[in-house]
Structure 1
Amino acid sequence: MAENVHALRPEMTDAEIGVLRECLSKAASLVEFGSGGSTLLAVCSPALKRIWSVESDADWIASLRGHPEVAHAERDGRLHFTHADIGRTGDYGTPLDKMAQARWPDYHQQVWRDPATTSADLVLVDGRFRVACALEALARCQPHTILLFHDFWNRTHYHPVLAFTDWLGSCDSLAILRRKTSIDQVKFEAVRRLHRMNPD
């Protein structure tokens, strides 16, 4: 890939990065959808004891492992990459292989096969299948889990998530959300089904 992994930085505004750093400093465990600059920030945050990072591009994961901090965290068992093999991918891990569609839901479901992930107190949604990733997190994590959803406010097709979350704050396009104490489960499952194959 063209990115220089040794100059890794989240594709966020400075203010968003500041909020992300603050949230990472208060969390003990993180599930992130979309590996990259946020992964480096996470492994450099001493408060985080467990990090699960989901990525659809195996070559990009290999590049990230070239960063000493990332490699060290993975060797120590603190960082766990989940390669969601959803077929051939393009820019930013976008799936291109329609013949592999049956595997697309692995992107938002595979990481949860590790029972420890359900104890994550922070989830970052910044990759593919964003609505599906957010809804899976809401379904599987604890009520107190914080959901950071990047590019949220400028992309209205992500807004169905608002029906099931309380808004805690915002910074530029980054939404800070948490699962509502009570949700319409029938509606939730309907929206979940609707978005399970949507890679946006």
Structure 2
Amino acid sequence: MNLPGKIRTGRRLAGQLARTPSELRNVPRTVRSQGTPLDVGLPWLAFVVIDRLDEIVGPESSVFEFGGGGSTVWFAERARQVTSIEHDPEWAALLEERFAATPNVDVRHVAAAGGSYDEYVASVESFPDDSLDVVLVDGRSRVRCALAAMPKVRPGGFLVLDDSQRKYYGPAHEALAPWPHETLQGMAPYKFDFGVTTFWRRPAEGD
């Protein structure tokens, strides 16, 4: 990043912290997290989001993620089963090598053949309806991935969309409107900037 870019980033961060002073406590966590996601082992999500995931992911959880990396490392240490879908062949190869001896992680390379993400989006369809505790949408074609994943989330489970503030993710917000939700934002690992993520909880019987 050139100097003007660094100045703009610094000003934006200063404004974000001024509006959300509670996030000052997470600045040291950002400083400590500098490195590659596979080495650091943290999702590329705001720390408040990671803390929330830590509350809902446990030893019996089945997790599906569109887009692998530090999140895969993190989920692997906590969940019963993690399925990670990755479109980039080089990154997928690194993930496959990293988790080759990790029995609870299934890394699947799903290429964007001809620039189409149809197979990538459809990868979640191999799971039964109502079977996944957490679906993290943090890769490509996020609106389509979120819509495809909705019936796969168990009642009481969560669908999590990163960068949910982007206006072109509006159709996902509309489709998920009947589900209770919370949007969290704050300092994140690897970068001196805020991340924004929305959790939707699929209503369970009796809610």
TM score, norm. by length of structure 2: 0.66
Choose 1 or 2 for highest CA Rg.
2
1:164 partnered with 2:178:
no
Aligned to 2:199: 176
What is the percentage of aligned positions where both structures have the same residue? Answer: 28
For residues 60 and 86 of structure 2, the distance between their equivalents in structure 1, rounded to whole angstroms, comes to 21
Does structure 2 retain, via aligned residues, the 8 Å contact 1:86–1:106? Answer: yes
Which consecutive unaligned segments of at least 5 residues does structure 1 have? 88-99, 182-200
Which consecutive unaligned segments of at least 5 residues does structure 2 have? 1-34, 186-195
Instruction: Supply the AA of the counterpart residue of 2:174.
Output: A
Task: Name whichever of 31-40 and 140-149 sits farther off.
Answer: 140-149
Structure holding more strand per residue: 2
TM score, norm. by length of structure 1: 0.68
Does structure 1 retain, via aligned residues, the 8 Å contact 2:135–2:160? Answer: yes
Indicate the SS of the match to 2:154.
coil
1:164 Cα shift? 2.6
Report 1:1-200 matches (<5 A): 3=36, 5-25=38-58, 28-45=61-78, 48-67=79-98, 70-73=99-102, 76=103, 78-87=104-113, 100-101=114-115, 103-113=116-126, 115-116=127-128, 119-152=131-164, 154-165=165-176, 166-172=179-185, 173-179=196-202
Task: Count how many residue pairs are aligned between Structure 1 and Structure 2.
Answer: 158
More RCO (CA 8 Å, sep 6+) = 2
For residues 56 and 133 of structure 1, the distance between their equivalents in structure 2, rounded to whole angstroms, comes to 13
Indicate the SS of the match to 1:144.
strand
Q: CA RMSD in A?
A: 2.5
Per-residue deviation, residues 95-146 of structure 1 (Å, max 9, x unmatched) = xxxxx14x42111102422x45751111111111111110001134333331
For residues 149 and 57 of structure 2, the distance between their equivalents in structure 1, rounded to whole angstroms, comes to 17
Indicate the SS of the match to 1:161.
helix
Distance 1:58-1:3 versus aligned 2 partners, 3 A rule: farther
Which ranges of 4 or more aligned residues in structure 1 deviate by more than 4 Å? none
Distance 1:27-1:133 versus aligned 2 partners, 3 A rule: farther
1:7 Cα shift? 3.1
